[in-house]
Chain A
Amino acid sequence: MKVLVPVKRVIDYNVKVRVKADGSGVDLANVKMSMNPFDEIAVEEAIRLKEAGKADEVIAVSIGVKQSQETLRTALAMGADRAILVIAADDVHTDIEPLSVAKILAKIVEEEQPGVVLCGKQAIDNDMNATGQMLSALLGWSQGTFASEVDIDGDTAKVTREVDGGLQTLSVKMPAIITVDLRLNEPRYASLPNIMKAKKKPLDEKTAADYGVDVTPRLEIVKTVEPAERAAGIIVGSVDELVEKLKEAGAV
């Protein structure tokens, strides 16, 4: 079975984001970019499937600017076998919307015929949380979202989902789209030997046009603003004082 893992290049979670002067979005020029952390978890899960003998090939895909190649190399250095880069934008500030990404992924799925697609549940840059679900709709495949546990057994997969009330376990028919949540696993470090090997692994370069997908945005960003600064808190000296303050604030 092949496993397809889409990975997105996003602003590193450690970077303090700054809104562009014209409010059109976040400034991405010269800031550190990394693999979307949820996608790292998906890559890790795919590699574990391979190590467990349940998968025989892990293919990483990234759709975006040319520099997404670095993100794919990271996936290869973690242990993916090969990579597909789909160049769909020249400017790092161009966001490829979930529907366009899902359409391109659907074409790649047709070509590659993976048994499962493992996606991050959302990308930390704009938190759309939509690509996996849209891909599932386009392909007519079953979906298990927000997975905190995945157990693939032949033509079904048991997916444990983190929902508001607790954990929900689904049995989904394979092939399936599974989107992964934070607690599924702890991604490994790209090891030094694998980093050296990554350069020799195949990385195919394509464009959105190769898949006949129009990536023109459908959404218009009206404005982007910095989150309101939080007011400073106070340090209380005792429980009594805390209760006092809460009473003053009408909270108890």
Chain B
Amino acid sequence: MNFGMTEEQVMIVETTRAFVENELYPHEAEIERTGVLDMDVVRDIQKKAMEAGLYAANMPEEVGGAGLDTLTWLMYEKELGRANYALHWTAVARPSNILLAGTQDQKEQYLYPCMKGEKWDCLAMTEPDAGSDLRGMKATARKDGDDWILNGTKHFISHADIADFAICFMATGVEDTPRGPKKKITAFFVDKDTPGFAVRDGYGNVSHRGYTNAVLEFDDCRLPASAVLGDVDKGFDVANTWLGATRLQVAATCLGRAERALDHAVAYAAERKQFGQQIGKFQGVSFKLADMALELKAANLLTWDAGWKFDQGTVTESDMSMAKLKATEMLAFVADEAIQIHGGMGLMDELPLERIWRDARVERIWEGTSEIQRHIISREMLRALGG
């Protein structure tokens, strides 16, 4: 077992960290204050990110990405994850890997423009009545000659307001299985201006200011057969094959923010004096630091372990769920303790801690709730015994 980083990985982390600190941090406060992402700022950073080869670096080299292995990509995600989410997700975008599943025409129309920063994607699965239980989705697509007609509603769809198109998962029928009837799902590309398709403002929410979610409405929205991504009725197969390690991506971004919070906490504990000494000298504070560092390291090891196994082709669903679960819960703990160590100052928006604490909340919900991750982990154990 080798836990060291290669020279290349060290440099990638350094470059990404420097970029995040120099180019993203200065714009965070404004987004936190207004809740609005200034698209001129985004365009400006986007250009620099491209020059540095950081934009869409999750993608393979053949399509203009950096061609990183999973582990190195996660190291890059960790650094990006330190900053305001809206900012890094748009200005240093990582287009969905599912775009690689498209036909050549679809790649020309969607993938390459995303690589060049000319378009943004979004992915729509969740519905008001179908969250964890995605198979229960009600939005449908039915065949009409060669075309498809889409109807229904998706909600909580991230950055759909700025996206130029959505990859939408729709029910396209029911099949009988030994476990009962099961919905068949198909994935579609839907362009923003398609008649019968509307993107409405979603809800205001506690986490990730500036990072919006939207409601997508389909009202007899007609699409040509060429809009299908992958095979008809095989939407979840396309997703499972191509989406990649999205749970690990969530884990990695949480690691970055936790590290940032811990750095603040350590510095403050060393500097702040009460009762005539550094507060870090009180065991009540120093033990917190020890526990924070320990939790962070454990989550980090789980994430790197799963990332490394992903590259070896030996990763299990449980490995990825453990990393996601641990990293997201660790972030909640570390952010909370970092605030505690700062006393009242920790709550003030002078420091990034109050927002890291707010932002931590969504991480235990999206990309599979903590309960669903525990379900996946335990299922794998019980299955071995016929469970």
Q: Please report A residues at the B interface, Cβ cutoff 8 Å.
A: 34, 69-70, 73-74, 77, 188-196, 198-199
Contacts and interface: CB of A to CB of B under 8 A. Distances in A.
B290 interface: no
Nearest to A12: B14
Nearest to B55: A192
Given A70-B7, A70-B10, A196-B8, A189 B15 contact: yes
A191 B15 contact: yes
Contacts of B12: 192, 195
Contact of A193 (B7, B10, B14, B53): B53
B48 to A, nearest CB: 8
Interface of B: 7-8, 10-12, 14-15, 18-19, 51-54, 57, 66-68
A199 B54 CA distance: 18
Nearest to B22: A189
Contacts of A198: 8, 11
B7 A192 contact: no
B117 to A, nearest CB: 15
A194 B53 contact: yes
Contact of B57 (A70, A74, A188, A192): A192
A69 B52 CA distance: 22
B52 A191 contact: yes
Contacts of B15: 77, 189-192, 195
Contacts of B53: 191-195
B7 A196 contact: no
B51 A190 contact: no
A191 B92 CA distance: 13
B70 to A, nearest CB: 15
B19 A189 contact: yes
Contact of B51 (A70, A191, A196): A191
Contacts, number: 50
Contacts of A73: 7, 11
Contact of B66 (A77, A188, A190, A192): A192
A196 B67 CA distance: 9
The 9 closest A-B pairs by CB, nearest first: A192-B53, A191-B53, A189-B52, A192-B66, A195-B11, A193-B53, A191-B52, A190-B15, A189-B15
B293 to A, nearest CB: 16
A198 B53 CA distance: 14
A128 B7 CA distance: 29
A195 B52 CA distance: 10
Task: Tell which of A34, A70, A196, A198 has the most Cβ of chain B within 10 Å.
Answer: A196
Contacts of B57: 192
20 contacts: A34-B14, A69-B7, A74-B11, A77-B11, A77-B15, A188-B52, A189-B18, A189-B54, A190-B15, A190-B52, A191-B15, A191-B53, A192-B15, A192-B52, A192-B53, A192-B66, A193-B66, A195-B15, A195-B53, A198-B11
A188 B51 contact: yes
Contacts of A69: 7
B292 to A, nearest CB: 20
B66 A196 contact: yes
B20 to A, nearest CB: 11
A186 to B, nearest CB: 10
Contacts of A34: 14
Nearest to B50: A191
A223 to B, nearest CB: 25
A189 B55 CA distance: 13
Contact of A199 (B7, B19, B51, B67): B7
Given A74-B14, A190-B11, A195-B12, 20 more contacts: A70-B7, A73-B7, A73-B11, A188-B51, A188-B52, A189-B15, A189-B19, A189-B54, A190-B14, A190-B52, A191-B51, A191-B54, A192-B12, A192-B57, A192-B66, A193-B66, A195-B15, A196-B67, A198-B11, A199-B7
